[in-house]
Amino acid sequence: MTTLLLVRHGETDWNRDERFQGQADPPLNQTGRSQAVDLSVLLAADPLSAVYTSPLQRAFETAEIIAAAHGLEPSTVEALREMYDGSWEGLTRAEVEERFPHEYARWLEHRRGPGDGESYDGLCGRVVPAILEIAAAHPNGRVLAVTHAGPIRATLAHADGISYEEARKRGPAIENGSLVELAIEDGDLRRFEEDE
């Protein structure tokens, strides 16, 4: 069994301002750096086989801070990028609601977001295979991957056997600096609590 720790990157100013980030690349703010340091302290006593990260700088910086406590360097995985939010990227929720009222209403109902963005199926189709490939490279290991809310939700939806839309409905929100532990065995991905 491989243990996978999924971490959402620390806070950015865009998170604080409720801007859609998607694949835009704002850096961590001071709160985000503090969240990453807190995670590094929390995880310092747990040995890690490897640290992987989205290439976006908010995730990469979070991963670097955590990996340093283990003497590791994070490896970037393109598939761990956040979902592409198309024309919403950089806009606040209020701005999206004003400019794209129908799409925004649909998003609030836990359905697809921007029409020119990445689909939920597209997101799940790139993230889940990448997660399984990471696990397969570290049989019986303990691996950390720093990514974003969308990829974490896609992974949890797969583990729970539900759609991404249903995972959004059920919640809860995936906060900056949050940590989720999963178990992967023979290609089967499940929440770690099920093994306890």
Active site residue 110: no
How far is residue 65's CA from residue 10's CA, in Å, rounded to a whole number? 11
What six digits make up the tokens of 175? 């906060």
Give the integer Cα–Cα distance in Å for 28 and 73. 19
Assess whether 148 carries a catalytic annotation: yes
Q: Which residues pair with 179 in a beta bridge?
A: 7
Catalytic residue among 102, 110, 138, 148: 148
Distance CA 2, CA 17 (A): 37
Q: What's the Rg (C-alpha) of the chain? A: 16
Query: Which sequence positions are flagged as catalytic?
Result: 9, 148
